[in-house]
Copies of this chain bind each other. A is one copy, B any other.
Amino acid sequence: MEIRCNLDDLSPEQASHALGRILDQGALDATLTPAVMKKGRSGWILEVICYPGQADKLSKLILSETTAFGIRRHRMERMILERHHITVATPYGEVTVKVGTLEGKTLQQSPEFSSCAAAAERHSVPVRLVYQAALSALNSEAFPKE
């Protein structure tokens, strides 16, 4: 399900807080998009992705945590990669990599940012270095030819 509402009456820090609460309560993803609302007001569109079984609970949460007087929602079809994690060795220690496959084919290998950031902090280097080292450590042959 995708749940949406327009917000023109909520301060940025309250909006950010609401986003966190919605994710804590089981939403798959949630975003705030800046938009121009009626009367030229600058507000946001809140967009929440969740399983259908969570939709009622999250709709009510939105109506009580934000200033929205209504939400709209509809069913989406999803196509997702199967995901698993692998570990690669880098000069900065081991880093976790998220791997996404579709019908048995690897389409994505993505170093976990939080894992890179932790290693970067341990070695006092920019996180970009660790990220690049993790990419180097991946066997690029494993990547799909299109």
Please give the residue numbers on chain A whose beta carbons come within 8 Å of chain B beta carbons, in ascending order. 2, 4, 6-17, 19, 23, 29-45, 47, 49, 59-60, 63-65, 67, 69-81, 83, 91, 98, 100, 102, 107-108, 110, 113, 117, 124-129, 131-133, 135-136, 138, 140-141, 143-146
Contact = CB atoms under 8 A, between A and B. Distances in A.
Given A72-B49, A100-B69, A16 B33 contact: no
A16 B40 CA distance: 7
8 contacts: A14-B127, A31-B45, A32-B35, A45-B47, A69-B83, A70-B79, A91-B140, A132-B136
A65 B121 CA distance: 13
Query: Per DSSP, are chain A's interface residues mostly helix, strand or loop, or mixed?
Result: mixed
Counted per complex, copies of this chain come to: 6
Contacts of A38: 19, 23, 29-31
A79 B64 contact: no
Given A110-B9, A129-B143, A131-B14, A69 B81 contact: yes
Nearest to A131: B14
Contact of A17 (B65, B75, B113): B113
Given A38-B19, A136-B135, A126 B146 contact: yes
